[in-house]
Amino acid sequence: MSMEQQQQQLISIITLLVVLLLLISSTVTTANEEEYVRPPPRKTLHFPWNPKPSSNPNQVHVSLAGERHMRVSWVIDDNSSPSIVEYGTSPGTYEATAVGDSTSYSFLFYKSGKIHHAVIGPLEHDTVYYYRCGGQDPEFQFKTPPSQFPVSFAVAGDLGQSGWTKTTLDHIDKCNYDMLLLPGDLAYADFIQRRWDTFGELVQPLASARPWMVTQGNHEKEHIPMLTDEFVSYNSRWKMPYEESGSGSNLYYSFDVAGAHIIMLGSYTDYDEYSDQYSWLKADLSKVNRTKTPWLLVLFHVPWYNSNEAHQCEGDGMMEVMEPLFHTARVDMVLSGHVHAYERSMRVNNGRPDPCGAPAWSVFREASFGHGELKIVNESHAYWSWHRNDDDEPVKSDHVWINSLKSEGCLVQDKGPELRKIL
């Protein structure tokens, strides 16, 4: 068996899923009336083992970087290429230039290309911008999110690089969305660093056109004791707005979009009550203005509520510490990955029905590959749908209208001593 074959055995079967938890709904419009049979896994995509060095920007992706700003990230093998982004609202006409910075990293015998990050803005909302990286073609374009409702999200976790990955990306490309949310497990590189490069190339058509907001999963850790630090590849390539949100780590951060405040947490960094992540989360939740952002969403990799046999109890420690904060702050929705099956729940707290929720928490489950779509229509209503990949067609197998906690009268209006003690 070759070294490549041995390395590729480390790569898990790639599936595409989202576990959706803590939902509040007015009506459930579908049910899994008959048993669902999942199609077999598809093969891992293969790319040239020794691709030719590229003198052009590649692996281009964009993400939010604070109020009315976007971060453009790309990789290039030319060390003399400048960290600049030229951009404007007309093709081929660049009205502004932003200067960024660059980094690179080594991982055992692998040496990355030059990784650039440049923040551009201020930008207009709901506007198409044309841009190029490093002062050279090709030209890319992205659309900024709207400033107010409605706002739409595509949601996919545990992406990897399989045949199902390509199917899901094709389906997402056909849907009308403003931003992609990814709760961990991006490339499934699993120590094979060139697979970070091939993943960046695979997602570039979508990730260069809409902001991708991601958090880490177990496959991003890539820690070899005494040889490599944790999350080196992930942190170097996928820089998120952690500094802009007052966080000290790229593994957890928050941002506002339209009327939603979205928090991305780290399942694989310290989260106990003495940790930096816990302290940051308390501070972030205490500053949320539900008049400005009536919707409050949280994403992380390992689900807290999971009725599947796989990955049971893995999120219990994080849930024990952080769920009281979620409940007190009245988090509307939680999106997770990790378990390679789809499940949607009603709202639940501490394993019991919440006073403002429903009596049973697991509402819909099936072991399908696919992606989710979330459209927040206004401050009181959102529409969620799950789209299977079956037969290469995006089959909608589950959908539900969701009421915000604010509209249900469940917010704690008076931040009295008890609330201040918790937050």
Question: Taking Cα atoms as reference points, which of 88, 83, 95 lies closest to residue 135?
Answer: 83
Q: Which residue has the tokens 């037969």?
A: 391
What lies within 8 Å, CB to CB, of 162 at 6+ separation is: 13, 14, 41, 42, 43, 44, 45
How far, in Å, CA of 159 to CA of 182, rounded? 8
CB 202 within 8 A of CB 169: yes
CB 236 within 8 A of CB 104: yes
Question: Taking Cα atoms as reference points, which of 4, 64, 66, 19 lies closest to residue 311?
Answer: 19
Which residue type sits at 336?
A: S
Question: Is residue 311 annotated as a catalytic residue, yes or no?
Answer: yes
How far, in Å, CA of 77 to CA of 311, rounded? 39
CB 171 within 8 A of CB 155: no
Residue in 311, 340, 371, 399 annotated catalytic: 311
Cα distance from N-terminal residue to C-terminal residue, the chain: 54
3-state secondary structure of 17: strand
Concatenate the DSSP letters of all residues of 316-329 into one string: HHHHHHHHHHHHHH
406 DSSP 8-state letter: T
**Structure tokens given for 185:** 């497990």
Angle made by CA atoms 147, 71, 285, in degrees to the nearest 5: 60
Please state whether 413 falls in left (phi above 0), alpha (psi between -120 and 50) or beta.
Answer: alpha
Task: Determine phi and psi for 338, rounding to 5 degrees.
Answer: 75, -55
Residue 213 host element (H or E): strand 212-215
Question: Taking Cα atoms as reference points, which of 47, 73, 24, 30 lies closest to residue 241?
Answer: 73
What lies within 8 Å, CB to CB, of 50 at 6+ separation is: none
Residue 297 host element (H or E): strand 295-299
Catalytic residue numbers, as ranges: 311
